Structure formats: structure tokens, C-alpha cells
Structure 1
Amino acid sequence: MRVLIVTVGSEGDLQPFLALGKRLLAAGHDVTLSASDGYAARADAVGVPFAGRPTWSEAEFQENYRRIAGSKDQLRQLSDVIEFLAKEQRAAVPRLMELARDADVVVNSPLAIGAVAAARAVGTPHVAVHHTWPLRRARGYGPTNIDFGPLGNALAWSIVGSGVRRATDSRLNPVVTAAGLPPWRNVLFDASHSPLLNLIAISPHTRRHDPLFGPTYRTTGYWFLDEPEYTPPDDLAAFVAGEPPVVIGFGSNNGFDAGAVTRQLLTAIRGLNRRVVLLSGWAGLGAEDVPSNVFLAGFVPHGWLYARAACVVHHGGAGTTAAAFRAGIPQAVVWLQGDQLHWGRQIARLGAGPAPRSHHALDAGWLRGAFDRLLGDGGMTDRARALGAAIRREDGTGMAVRAIEEVSVAT
């Protein structure tokens, strides 16, 4: 079976698809991953064949992300995301059509609208993947991922869905027509769904399968990319070798004042009497001098670092949250946008961390209280450990591969 995998976004959006690609290759299938050209080296490092396509540079991505995340207006955030996405996806369509013609099945992330248009244009079946939550009417949550009850959720989906369609169809349909197809109605929602198979790459222990999804939706468990070849620098290895440290990092988020946030973090850490690993991320946290009990690091694989940590404070990205769940450590979320608030609330609902905090309201007092709870609440620690043990028993990528094989044979 020839599988084309297409994803859009940052490192956290890439990793689950690298994990799937590795597992498909191990099962004897031919795999090609199409993502931003900047990720060619990442794909090569884990042995997944890569096909680049016209896309934004990392500098463009960071600048647009900074503008989007820095806004408090969610409608403006959505507008900026769609404008940025539509430009990239329209340019990618010709290349994606070439790749889709040579594939037996296309597996795509929800925002890879160009991949869906290309697959439909050339007649190749496509499988949708949801590694945050399905952008689809549900009984258990509304479109902003808040549960208003069954009736309230139905009303919210109708109202918000209509507004999103009016705001996005005109911008996204040029992606569809670039593939030679007539315009679609409700492009954003339609492209995130496959009539064949929809894989929810989330643990059922962290998010229940919604009864409205139907038989084409399958919750597989998380898709983790293990990188056992990682060898840490000697100073980092020595730093984490003793008492498990606190880890702090906001990943690819950069829509905030890094200097101000660093000062809040250092104020909260003062007197904590605990080692701390501070991940600088795209925002450049820790640019000023840090005390001796703080280790300032760049990229460190979460699978390696979280397994050695006591707890973590992060931005609430789906991949980062999943890694902390798997490690079985308590976690607290300082959210900026998108699904991050949702995952912060899920962590609190599961008893694995405190309620989330917006980065606009971040202060040293809240941070210190979060550290004290994460390190001192035995019940929270026990719940996080139990959740981690359950997730480590799952085989999300294996279930996904079997599901793709089943529908490919059927078609």
C-alpha cells in the first residue's frame, strides 16, 4: 500500500505523523510524508521518506504565530489563521495532486485542506486524522470545546458553524478550485471529515468518544514518536540525575513578552528549593541571567525529559499534554489560543493538574501556587501516575495502521 501523509503546522503537529509513518513502514507499506520543507531533516532522522512542497518559511510561521497568539480576540485569531492557511494550501495543491496520484490512500491532518482537495480531484481515498479534537458536531462538547449540555451544544454548533462558514468559505474555496473542483459549502468542516475513515489520535482515557461521531470515527490512542537515539548533553544529564526537576516550557508559542514571563517565572521559582529545567522555545524564555538551580535548554525531546521530571508547566498544546500524560506527571497549563484551553480544562477534570491560566493573566503568585500543588498534592500525583500507566499500555499507532489497512482493502 502506498500512503501519502500530509500535515500542516509546527513540530507538535508533525510528530504524530512521523510516528504513524514509521509504523506504516514497519508494516511493509510505502510511505511519503509531505510537510513544510523545514522538516525534511526531522523526517530523515527517523527514516520517513519526505516530499517537500511550497510552504511558508519558519520565520514567516513564527511571525504569523506571534501575531495570532498575541491577540485576545478569538474571531480575529481565526481570521488570521485562515488567511495564513489558505495562502499556503493553495500554493501546495499542484504538488499535492502529483503526490496523491501515486498514492493508494492520503492520510491528512484537519487543516490540510489542499491535500483533501487534491485527493478528491484525482480520485484517491483520504483518511482524516484528529490529534486535537474532531471539528465536527458533537453531543458532549460545543465548537469552542465547552460542554453546554446536549441542547446547548447543538445550538452552539448551529450558530458558530454558520458564522465560521460565512467567514471562511470565501477564503478557503480558492484552495478547492485550484484542484479543478467546484466550490464547497462549509469548507473548513467538510475538509476535516472523511466519509471513509476518521482517526482520533487521542487516548480514550483523556477524551471520551462522542456518540454522534458514528462508525467512521475511531479513537486509537495517542501516536507517540519515540526517539531512543537521543543523547543529552552531559551537563543536562547530570542536572536531572538527582531529584526529579520541575520542567517549564511553552513550545512554539511566542505571542507574549518573553522577558516579562521569564521574570514572573524566576520570581515564582525563588525559594522553591527545587531544580528547574526551563525550555526556551520559540519565545526565547530565559534570555536574562538565571539562578544556579535553573537549567536553560533549547530543544529536548519530551519523551526523554518528562520521564525524568516531577511535573511540568506548559502551554497546553495537544502533543505536549499527551507527552506529560504518558509520563504520568502532574501538569499545569498557561494557555494562549486554540485547543490549549481545552486541554488545560481536561487536565483539571482528570485531576492531574490545577485549572488552567491564560497567559494574559499570568503572575508569579499563581505560578508559585501551581508549583506547590503540582509538587505537594499526593492525590494529584497518584492520579497522574495511574493515567500514565493506562496510556502506556495503549498502542495508538498500531490501531491506526490496522484501521487504514482495513479500509484500503475495502476500497
Structure 2
Amino acid sequence: MTKEQTPTYSVLDARGWAADAANVQDDGRIEVNLDSRLCRTLSRLIPVVHEEQELQDTPPIYTEVPTPGLRLNIVIQVVGSRGDIQPFIALGNELQRHGHRVRLATHDVFDSFVRSSGLEFYPIGGDPSELMAYMVKNPGLIPQMESLRAGDIQKKRAMMGEMLRGSWESCINDDPLTNTPFVADAIIANPPSFAHVHCAQALGIPLHLMFTMPWSSTRAFPHPLADVRTSSTEPKMANYFSYGVVEWMTWQGLGDVINDWRASIDLEPIPATEGPCLADVLKVPFTYCWSPALVPKPLDWPAHIDVCGFFFRSPPAFTPPPDLDQFLRSGPPPVYIGFGSIVIDDPSVMTATLLSAVQALGIRAIISHGDCPHEWLFKHVIAVVHHGGAGTTACGLLNGRPTVIVPFFGDQLFWGNMVASRGLGPAPIPHKKLNTDNLTEAIRFCLQPEALAAAEKVALEMSEESGVAAAVASFHRNLPVQTMRCHLIPSEPAAWNYKKAANPPMYLSKMAAGILIDNLRIEPKHLTLHECYPIVIKNRRWDPVTGIASSLLGTSTDVLKATRDVFYRPYQELTNNPRNQSNLQNTSISRSPSNVSTATETASPDSDFGTTPSGLRNTGAALGTSAKSVGKVVGYWYKGMLVDMPLAVSEGLRSMPQLYGEEVVDHGHIRDWKSGIAFAGKNFTHGMSEGLTGVFTQPYKGGQREGTVGVLKGLAKGTLGMTTKVSSAALGLVAYPADGMIKSLYTATHANTRKRIIRARLKEGQYLVENSSKVRANCQFALRAFETRERNQNRA
């Protein structure tokens, strides 16, 4: 499809949304006022791909990619409703056909749904109906007073903590049904699962995000959860910034929950400036599972983002009830009307509206409140009216059915606008504006020959797509195969490094290591964890001023939190102890005049916390938590003053040349004290040489490009570069090694998760040796390959 052929989404107004829905605030979207001071500030922190940097003239054609020959343990983490889960079941089945072992980790209520499809299941907790109810009650994800009074916010945060923990367990725990060991080699997830990138970082494995709605910044359309309002920002840039603003708002609500959970798996906290944009900064591969025939890939999305087509499962076997079968046979095709699992505020009013519209048109209709498979039912209707879920929308269009979308929240309005932009249905009708008249007109639109022809055309295009197969090809294409492959059994993914003397490490899979250990060729103590795809989260700095300001803010926040804990943690220690809670209750009873005698008789002997042995222990534990918090106050302050701020200034100085268009050299990642020293050395050498010579080379280069004006510009750049680069080189000699030492100390004192991963991988390797049918074929091959590599390395 050429650039000129890309749909213009003509039903959208200058702000990117349907004009008649611009003021709707009860549809799960965030009102984003880009003219506000907050949004103007955030827009400066959101990296922008400029027009001239767009990466392609036409959307790519996705062809089948050969399977890399690796059999992986893949965990698919999904949060959402049944409609969100269903596409990933189709994906999991396709991955199984390529030889992968697939585990789908989602809410407990979908256990039988997932297992009946032939996939492994892991429960992560959380209640999808509660999540949906929260979305309906809280416009734009921002809580209303009703939700605050009901405690919904704390419930949602507690539920998110539960799902984060469950998602991590899904990566390394045995199968809960069969007890078969499992350690993930790769993660596929939808963005709202939130744990994905952090689990991948802890394991050092690749991550691939997949979703049914736009989540990556683009100028083509705004974020589906954003209601963009602006008078001064150019419309395309307003669309682009809406993604960053939504991410920032989400992080503000969940960032502390995520960082608390990260601490439990021995990961450092993520800086407030980095949390909202991790996927973009890390260039995490992203596959969107919608049809490019409906919404083509935007031209400003880079190569690691794909649009592959809707994910359809194989149609389930279904025999309709006799009454439904008789109804379908007894007249012309009816119109389908249904809103899935959406909770309707007033069902009787909604039903009356639907019936009035049907009667006004004189048509037959099926008003659904059951679980009839859409794949079957939509073949027997003439048009569909629904809430606009991605899966329902896809199924209707695949069957060539014109569509009326009545959005309730979330991305449903987006899909309504996309359907309308292609003439496949009328403009969406937000559910609170639905009445007999506009529903009647909307259905009448769908019954026109033009809408039926447009729907048939899109259905033909979609029938030629294979979204699931294209998504699996996208997944395979983005795997770091060279660092994932075992050196002894090439079809197995590497999990270990085995290294002797100064030789380069040998990559060993769990099976290969199990074979070598079982045959006494190696010992487990000689194995170290292999990270085939290390994820490093940097605290990026743009200049020394904002660098030191953000560092000071971060240090102050940590110090204030630790200061609060000096008093709050002891209180928690006392009140969370069941015995203490009982004592506190007894103490409160004794203050009631009418119960003095009863309280005296029933009070626990340990009620005096400070004088009994049990009380002394409790008081000592409380004082211990207070002392730890005091230690944190001192530690945070010294770390901020002696490490974080010098590092922020050095990084800010090093990054300044990019403000005037000069590329900043990447010296690698600092992971420990050795890499910190190496980074400091490279930065010193480069900074001194570039800084001192830039005074001469920059005017020369500028003169070559722009003559006298270029010389003057070059002189300014060279002078500024000498100041920033030389200063960064000098300060970095202290800052970068100090940062590396802090990271080494953190790694040494936070080793429980690494030890757990080691145990889990060894356990799975031993299981494979004892139970896998593939071991017999691979055993002698692996032993011979190991001996050959050992001989070659010894000769070298």
C-alpha cells in the first residue's frame, strides 16, 4: 500500500477524535490537555521521531520467517477479559506447532478455558470482572470520589501487586497441575500485564509485546485511552504526545507498586523519569494483532513494530440450541446486538431502547446475553451491533458484516472510529448517548448497499491474511538467536555459561548441562547464569542542570520516604503482629467504664509490650525496623551526594552535544565495578580527545557545510564541546567507577533471586535428563561435542 493509499480517517476532526465524542468522559479515556503546564513539561521529556526520520515509505509486507530451530519455553502473560485472552490462545497453539512449550499465565478464572485449548496454564490472580467494573466506574482511569470511598483504589493496587507476583512465579515455577519444571526462555505479553519487562530483566531473556490496540507513539492517531485537547499543539504532534502522557499518568498510579515488587525479586528501583517509557527506550519488539486492511502500520513506527493481522482461533465445534436454529431458518438474516461481558447500568432501559429500534426498522434481531460463539453466529446475521472490543470487531469484519459500535470504555471508541473511517459502519455512539433514534439510523446505515459492499471488500482482504502465523514469524525474527543457541545441542536454548581458565564461555542449555552433570563431565558449581538478552535500564540525562535536579529530587524522595518509615515501620511491626492486635483490642476494652472488670479478667499477660518477654521481643523488633530506616536515611543521603549527583552531572555533560545535533558515543553499560572502570576510561579518552580537538575540527566541518556561518557555528559547538566533554571526562573518572561499585555491592547483597533461578534451571535440566524422549538422541551427540570443544580450547 502506498503512502497515498493510506486511509485518512476522514471521520476524525482536527484533534484526532470524532467530533461528537470529544466531550465524553465516561469511556475509560484520560482527558489530555496539551495546553496545560504539566503536559507541556511532560512533552519535553518524551523522545520524538521527527518527520524526516520516518523509516519507510510503504508499510512492510510480512512474509513467513523460517523457524530458528530453537525449542523454547515461552510464557505468555495476559491481563484482561476473555476477549483479551482468546487471541493469545490462538497464538499459543501456533507456537506449539513450531515446537515450543507454551504456558499462558492469566487470571485464575480462565483455567479451564486455557487448558481446554491444549495450553499449559498458570494462575496469576486478579479478577477481570473487578478490573472491568473499575474501568467503567472511573472515567479515564482517574478515580472518582465514589471509588475512593469504596476503597477501590487500594483494592486495585493490591490486585496489581498480586498479579505482578503471580507473573514472576509463572516464569520459574513448576506446572501447578503436573509439577513439571518450567523456566521461561522468552516472554510474550500484553502491555497491561506490567510485569513483563521486569521479569525479562531478572532472567536475562527476550521479551515481545503483543496487543490489540495502539500502545506505541505515532502521529497517525492519538492513544486510544486519551481524549486529546489542545489549541496550540499541531494535531499530529498532539497525537504523538498523547501516548507519553498516558504512560506517565499510569506510572504515577502504579510506579511505587512496581518498584516495591521489583525489590522483592532483587531488581533496583526504576527512576521516575524512566518508568513510563521503558518499552520505547529499550526498543522492545511489538506486534499489533489487528488487520492492516483496517488500520495500516503508521509510517513513523520503526522496524521492530509490526502490524500482522487479527488473531483468530480455529472455529469451535458448535451446535445451536433448537430455538436459535429454528429462528435463523425461519426468515431473513437478523441483526446481532450484544455487549459481551459489559455490566449495563440499567438493563431494562437498554433493552427497551434496543427493541424500539428493531421495531422501528421492522427487522429481525438477536439480542445476545449468552455465550454463543461469534465465529459461528456471525455467519448467520446481516450486521452486528456491539461494544467495540477488538476481538468482536475483528470477527464481524472477517465475516463481512457492517458494524455499529456502542463504546463503553477503553479502546472501544478507537475501534468505532476506525470502522467508521473505512465506511464499514456509522460513527460510534457512546453508550450514554444511545437512544432509539440514533440506534435506528445507525442500523439503517449498515443495511445500505454501500456499507455491505465495503464490509465484503475488507473481509476479502482479511481472509488473505494470517495474523497468527505472521505474529509468530515476527516473534522469531526478533529473537537474538546467536546468543540463545546452545553450543552442544543447537535446537535447545542456552541457559548457562560454562567457562574454564581464559577460554571463552560455552553456552549450555538446561538439557545439555543436565547431560554433562549426569555423566560427571562438569560440576554445577562451574556454571553461571547465561543472559541471552540482558536488559539494562539507564537513568538518562539530557544536560547537567536537569540531571542534577532530577537526581536531587530522587534523593530527597528516598530520604523522605525512609524518614517516614522511621516512625511508621515500628507502628506496622506492632499492629501487624496478631498477638499485638489482640492486646491492642484488650487495651481498648479496658478503657470502657462498663467493661473495666471484664477487661481486667481477660487482658493478656503480654499486653504490657515493654515489660514481658514477649513484649520485649515485639518492642525490640519495632525498634529494629526503626533503626533500619535510620540507616536507610543516612545511606540514601550519602549515595545521593557522593554517587548519584556526580554521576548525573557527568552524564548530563556527556549528553549535551546531542542538544545541538551531535551524536553521543555509547561506551556500553555499567553493570559492576569492572565495567564502571572500563566506562570511565573510554569516556576519559574520548572526552579529552574530542573536547580538545573539537575547537579546530568543528569550525572546519561547519565551514565545509555552510561557509562563514558554519565556521561560527562550529566555533560555538567546539567551545561548548570542549567545556562539556573535558569536564565529563574528568568527573567521570570518579563518578562511573563509583556507580559500578554500588552496582557490584547491590548484586552481592541481593542474590536470592539469582539463586532461585539457578535452582529452577538445574531442576528442569535434571527433569529433562530423566524424562525427555529427546535426551537419548542428544546424549551421545552432546558428550562428543563437549569433548571436541574441550580439546580445541585446550589446544588454543
TM, length-normalised to structure 1: 0.86
**Is the CA contact (8 Å cut-off) linking 2:248 and 2:276 kept in structure 1?**
no
Q: For residue 132 of structure 2, what is the aligned residue in structure 1?
A: 65
1:254-293 equivalences in 2 (<5 Å): 254-280=343-369
Q: Distance in 1 between matches of 2:327 and 2:197?
A: 46
Q: For residue 322 of structure 2, what is the aligned residue in structure 1?
A: 234
**What is the aligned counterpart of 2:163 among 70, 89, 103?**
89
Q: Distance in 2 between matches of 1:165 and 1:56?
A: 19
**Is the CA contact (8 Å cut-off) linking 1:141 and 1:153 kept in structure 2?**
yes
Describe the superposition over 1:49-88 as per-residue Cα deviations: whole angstroms up to 9, x where unpaired: 22223x124xxx3244224314445533899697376234
Q: Distance in 2 between matches of 1:372 and 1:271?
A: 10
Q: Distance in 1 between matches of 2:212 and 2:96?
A: 21
Q: Secondary structure at the match of 2:410?
A: coil
**Is the CA contact (8 Å cut-off) linking 1:97 and 1:179 kept in structure 2?**
no
After superposing the two structures, state which structure 1 stretch, 400-409 or 341-350, moved more: 400-409
Q: 1:155–1:118: structure 2 CA closer, same or farther, 3 Å change rule?
A: closer
Q: Give 1 or 2 for the bigger CA radius of gyration.
A: 2
Aligned amino acid, residue 91 of structure 1? R
Q: For residue 386 of structure 2, what is the aligned residue in structure 1?
A: 314
Q: 1:110–1:157: structure 2 CA closer, same or farther, 3 Å change rule?
A: closer
Q: Distance in 2 between matches of 1:176 and 1:392?
A: 43
Q: For residue 457 of structure 2, what is the aligned residue in structure 1?
A: 386
- Which structure shows the higher helix fraction? 2
Cα deviation for residue 323 of structure 1 reads 1.0
Q: 1:157–1:399: structure 2 CA closer, same or farther, 3 Å change rule?
A: closer
Q: 1:86–1:175: structure 2 CA closer, same or farther, 3 Å change rule?
A: farther
**What is the aligned counterpart of 1:104 among 180, 185, 205?**
185
Q: For residue 138 of structure 1, what is the aligned residue in structure 2?
A: 218
Aligned amino acid, residue 415 of structure 2? W
Q: Secondary structure at the match of 1:4?
A: strand
1:145-294 equivalences in 2 (<5 Å): 149-157=235-243, 159-184=245-270, 185=272, 186-190=274-278, 195-241=283-329, 242-280=331-369
Q: 1:74–1:125: structure 2 CA closer, same or farther, 3 Å change rule?
A: closer
Q: Secondary structure at the match of 2:478?
A: helix
Cα deviation for residue 213 of structure 1 reads 2.2
Aligned amino acid, residue 157 of structure 2? E
Q: Secondary structure at the match of 2:103?
A: strand
Q: 1:93–1:49: structure 2 CA closer, same or farther, 3 Å change rule?
A: closer
Q: Distance in 2 between matches of 1:177 and 1:335?
A: 39
Q: For residue 121 of structure 1, what is the aligned residue in structure 2?
A: 202
Aligned amino acid, residue 90 of structure 2? A
Q: For residue 374 of structure 2, what is the aligned residue in structure 1?
A: 302
Q: 1:169–1:162: structure 2 CA closer, same or farther, 3 Å change rule?
A: same
Q: CA RMSD in A?
A: 2.7
Q: 1:156–1:4: structure 2 CA closer, same or farther, 3 Å change rule?
A: closer
Aligned amino acid, residue 305 of structure 2? Y
Cα deviation for residue 18 of structure 1 reads 0.3
Describe the superposition over 1:81-115 as per-residue Cα deviations: whole angstroms up to 9, x where unpaired: 97376234233144134159712211111111123
After superposing the two structures, state which structure 1 stretch, 238-247 or 92-101, moved more: 92-101
Q: Secondary structure at the match of 1:76?
A: coil
Q: Distance in 2 between matches of 1:162 and 1:24?
A: 34
Cα deviation for residue 166 of structure 1 reads 3.4
Q: 1:194–1:403: structure 2 CA closer, same or farther, 3 Å change rule?
A: farther
Cα deviation for residue 193 of structure 1 reads 8.2
**Is the CA contact (8 Å cut-off) linking 1:114 and 1:175 kept in structure 2?**
no
Q: Distance in 1 between matches of 2:317 and 2:277?
A: 39
Q: 1:7–1:93: structure 2 CA closer, same or farther, 3 Å change rule?
A: closer
Task: Report how many aligned residue pairs link the two structures.
Answer: 388
1:326-405 equivalences in 2 (<5 Å): 326-375=398-447, 377-405=448-476
Q: Secondary structure at the match of 2:192?
A: coil
Cα deviation for residue 390 of structure 1 reads 0.6
Describe the superposition over 1:350-386 as per-residue Cα deviations: whole angstroms up to 9, x where unpaired: 10000001111111111111122212x1101100110
Q: Secondary structure at the match of 2:163?
A: helix
**Is the CA contact (8 Å cut-off) linking 1:106 and 1:124 kept in structure 2?**
yes
Q: 1:265–1:137: structure 2 CA closer, same or farther, 3 Å change rule?
A: same
Aligned amino acid, residue 361 of structure 2? L
Q: Distance in 2 between matches of 1:99 and 1:217?
A: 30
Q: 1:343–1:369: structure 2 CA closer, same or farther, 3 Å change rule?
A: same
Higher relative CO (CA 8 A, sep ≥ 6), structure 1 or 2?
Answer: 1
1:10-89 equivalences in 2 (<5 Å): 10-53=81-124, 55-57=125-127, 61-72=128-139, 75-76=142-143, 83=157, 86-89=160-163
**Is the CA contact (8 Å cut-off) linking 1:110 and 1:192 kept in structure 2?**
no
Q: Distance in 1 between matches of 2:311 and 2:281?
A: 19
Q: Percent identity at matched positions?
A: 28
Aligned amino acid, residue 342 of structure 2? N
Describe the superposition over 1:136-178 as per-residue Cα deviations: whole angstroms up to 9, x where unpaired: 2212122346796323324444555544443442344334334
Q: Secondary structure at the match of 1:124?
A: coil
Q: Distance in 2 between matches of 1:319 and 1:84?
A: 29
Q: 1:179–1:210: structure 2 CA closer, same or farther, 3 Å change rule?
A: farther
Q: Secondary structure at the match of 1:335?
A: coil
